[in-house]
Amino acid sequence: MTTFAIATLGCKVNTYESQHYLESMKESGYTEVSFREAADVYIINTCCVTNTAAAKSRQKIHQARKQNPQAIIALIGCYAQTASADALAALQADVIIGAGEKGTLAQRITQALQQRPIQAEAPGDARALRVFEPLNIHSFSHQSRAFLKVQDGCNQFCSYCIIPYARGSERSIDPTEAVVIASQMAAHGHQEIVLSGIHTGRYGRERGTSLLELLKELTAHTPAHVRYRISSIEMNEIDDALIAFMQEEERIARHLHIPIQAADDDVLQAMNRPYDTAWFMKRMNEIRKALPAVSISTDMIVGFPGESEEQFSMALQRVENDLRFSFIHCFPYSKRAGTVAATMPMQIENSVKKERVKALSALSQKLYHSYMETFIHRTVDVVVETKKEGLLFGHSSEYLPVYIRCDAARAPKRVSARVSGFHRDGLLAEEMEESS
């Protein structure tokens, strides 16, 4: 019995891809074990979006070597794609797989086990890729929520971001294939499918189609119990037609994660973002008018080169008083070699970044609590994920964490529940009625 273990870092796209690696390894006769155990093969699905993510990728490699010095180490993902040849050589990985070869992982590992010693080669240029690699999967083990990768790559080239170099140009899954995979996931009992991508909102542009058309295909040709969630989308990709469809189709989750990255126009310009704060705010108001209870969350980067204390202070005020996101994923700016921002003057000290993260995170908690409070005495639709302390736990359409009182003998996958108050990190709901 040859064993393998997988460690996944980074985004929902990596989560999806790791599930494919898991399935392909099992189909090839390998047996999965925990990454904390000694294994014959370690697969590390890496991330490089920040320096911390890259460091964690390297730490996982060292952990694997310590647990079994004789193991095959396979690197895949964004750090494997973007690290320098010298950095990769220093890690002494046995298999290194680039952005266009992910479907070959199991085959490459089998070859490596048979052909020691191994000379791993650095991957080619991801920017040359033009064809979407589907990496089909059937289900996510022990989860009511599944992820479906529908898009890869990015053409935007924000000044701080290494991802276009790690993932290559924009490319999308064939819509017919997406329907087949989603149907398989539904057949395995998944109640919610998260459409994921590096630039999800630009799905299908190179095919002459759109994310809206894909959503129409999915809702028309998959079982009615499945709820679809858009993982992340840029504001300039949310047109009136998409919002109108969300108004009509309740199967699309009432949550839009829209990265703003900064709430100051000069910083946005330096980041090479395609909007200013006034336009972003105008579109937010239009979305909220059409979808009154919608959750709009965001990503923000603090400590970008040249960001002054005054700019940051004004941005905080703008977020609190005008934008009022439901919650904020806050990141300190991370200098990435090979990006425009890495060469910019007026780099911010780490201590300043930490203080700004602390301030923005505190504001996020305040806004999140305020948004959740609006749901008290309202009914929410919850996809159940697990049971905690005798309560069912899952997320609402708005992506709110909800704890539900229920009969211990019941184990519904989907419930409608009336919110009565707060519980731990989320909402407490009662008067549960099973919907599926």
**In the 3-class helix/strand/coil scheme, how is 374-408 assigned residue by residue?**
CCCCCEEEEEEEEEECCEEEEEECCCCEEEECCCC
| Among 239, 238, 226, CA closest to 181 | 226
Strands (E), 222-364: 227-230, 255-257, 295-302, 328-332
What does the pLDDT look like over 12-35, one tens digit per residue? 899 999 999 999 999 999 999 999
* The CATH homologous superfamily of the domain defined by 145-373: tm_1862 like domain (3.80.30.20)
Angle at 264 between CA 262 and CA 265, to 5 degrees: 110
CA–CA separation, 372 vs 370, rounded Å?
A: 6
The three-state secondary structure class of 230 is strand
CA–CA separation, 171 vs 164, rounded Å?
A: 12
Angle at 53 between CA 315 and CA 356, to 5 degrees: 25
Answer for the pair 370, 328: CB distance below 8 angstroms, yes or no. Answer: no
Q: Report the relative pairing of strands 295-302 and 391-396 from DSSP bridges.
A: unpaired
Q: Report the relative pairing of strands 145-149 and 3-8 from DSSP bridges.
A: unpaired
| Domains of the chain, residue spans | 3-124, 145-373, 379-434
CA–CA separation, 120 vs 273, rounded Å?
A: 37
**Chain-centroid distance, C-alpha 359:** 24
Could you please state the CATH topology (level 3) that the domain comprising 379-434 is classified under. Answer: OB fold (Dihydrolipoamide Acetyltransferase, E2P) (2.40.50)
Q: Which two tokens stand for residue 104?
A: 């070959």
- The answer to whether the predicted template modeling score (pTM) of the entire model surpasses 0.75 is yes
Q: Which two tokens stand for residue 276?
A: 């200013």
Task: Name residues whose C-beta falls within 8 Å of residue 39's C-beta, 6 or more positions apart in sequence.
Answer: 3, 4, 5, 33, 64, 67, 68, 71
Equal CATH topology for 3-124 and 379-434: no
DSSP state of 340: S
CA–CA separation, 122 vs 96, rounded Å?
A: 6
| Among 233, 345, 350, 209, CA closest to 296 | 233
Number of H helices, E strands in the chain: 13, 18
Q: Which two tokens stand for residue 395?
A: 């997320």
Q: Alpha-carbon torsion 100, 106, 109, 115, what sign?
A: negative
What is the Rg, in whole angstroms, of the alpha carbon atoms belonging to the chain?
22
CA–CA separation, 72 vs 95, rounded Å?
A: 8
**Residue 431: what pLDDT?**
55
Answer for the pair 197, 150: CB distance below 8 angstroms, yes or no. Answer: yes
Given a cut of 70, the residues of the chain with pLDDT beneath it are: 117-119, 142, 408-409, 431-436
Q: Which two tokens stand for residue 73?
A: 């180490």
**Residue 118: what pLDDT?**
66
Could you please state the CATH topology (level 3) that the domain comprising 3-124 is classified under. Answer: Rossmann fold (3.40.50)
Answer for the pair 364, 327: CB distance below 8 angstroms, yes or no. Answer: yes
CA–CA separation, 342 vs 264, rounded Å?
A: 20
CA–CA separation, 171 vs 203, rounded Å?
A: 7
Q: Which amino acid is at 341?
A: A
Q: Which residues of 370-385 are buried (b: 16+ CB within 10 A; e: fewer)?
A: ebbeebeeeebbbbbb
**Residue 337: what pLDDT?**
86
CA–CA separation, 329 vs 286, rounded Å?
A: 23
Dihedral pair phi/psi, residue 143, rounded to 5° = -130, 140
**Residue 433: what pLDDT?**
53
**Residue 100: what pLDDT?**
86
